Amino acid sequence: MSSMSKCLKGGMVACGIAAMSFTAMDAQANLLNNPGFEAELQPFVSVDEEWNAFSSGGATAPLPDRNTVAPHSGLQHLELVTGAVNEFSGAFQWERGITAGDEYTFSFWARGDGNALEGVLEYRIEWITLFGGEDSRSFINDPSSVLTNEYQLFTVSGIAPAAAVDLKATVAFATFNASGTGTGTVYVDDTSLVPEPASMALLTMGGLALLRRRN
């Protein structure tokens, strides 16, 4: 049965609720600035709501910069480089003024450069309290073996805890305890941070429940 015939059978109220939910979901914006790294990074100071680069430093893990070799889209992507064991390279972006109880999903595309990778791709949402401390984090550590030289989508989601007022979205490549040389190059592009309001999830469920009852 098509959604339209469900609407007709369920009546105007249920149909209206479902339509409102889908319209609101379609309108969900990406909260991240410079999502595809087409503009400069902010490598030296922590600029709010922009990509800030970080690394373990030194000659083999310089601060990440952008690169123009085969990005996922546009002209640029982020390049993360390590050259030894126990190094890291990454970028983070603050999002100020989040809503406790809402679900936030951080996504990005990433690939290797075709050479061997020994390390961990870590991506996370840090939940930050009013006083600037970390309440907790939603994170995933993938072994670098998941990365190929083709771009793939990576996603981590979490519900903002009660004490959280801000978040920090981070993607990094790290070679802690790597068994080999720790060398690696990882590219990242087309990031997004999308909220799912708790009220919207309830409204959607309510609309579906109403549809089911009327059917």
Determine the interface stretch with Ca ion among 63-71, 144-152, 173-181, 203-211 (rule: CB under 5 A).
63-71
**# residues contacting Ca ion (CB under 5 A):** 5
119 forms part of the interface with Ca ion (CB under 5 A): no
151-154 contacts at long range (C-beta below 8 A, 24 or more positions apart):
151/72, 151/109, 151/110, 151/111, 151/187, 151/189, 152/109, 152/110, 152/111, 153/107, 153/108, 153/109, 154/107, 154/108, 154/109, 154/110, 154/121, 154/123
- 182 lies in the binding site for Ca ion (CB under 5 A): no
Is residue 36 classed exposed, middle or buried when 0-12, 13-18 and 19+ CB atoms within 10 A define those classes? buried
Give me the least distance between CB of 72 and Ca ion, in Å please. 6
Nearer to Ca ion by Cβ, of 166 and 189: the residue is 189
Residue 158 binds to Ca ion (criterion: CB under 5 A): no
**CB of 95 or CB of 189, closer to Ca ion:** 189
Query: Which region, judged by CB under 5 A, interacts with Ca ion, from 40-48, 120-128, 135-143, 187-195?
Result: 187-195
Q: Which is nearer to Ca ion, 31 or 128 (CB)?
A: 31
Task: Pick the stretch among 6-14, 98-106, 140-148, 182-190 that binds Ca ion (CB under 5 A).
Answer: 182-190
Q: Is the dihedral of CA 68, 70, 74, 76 positive or negative?
A: negative
Looking up tokens 């922590």, which residue turns up? 46
Contact residues for Ca ion, defined by CB under 5 A: 36, 71, 74, 77, 189
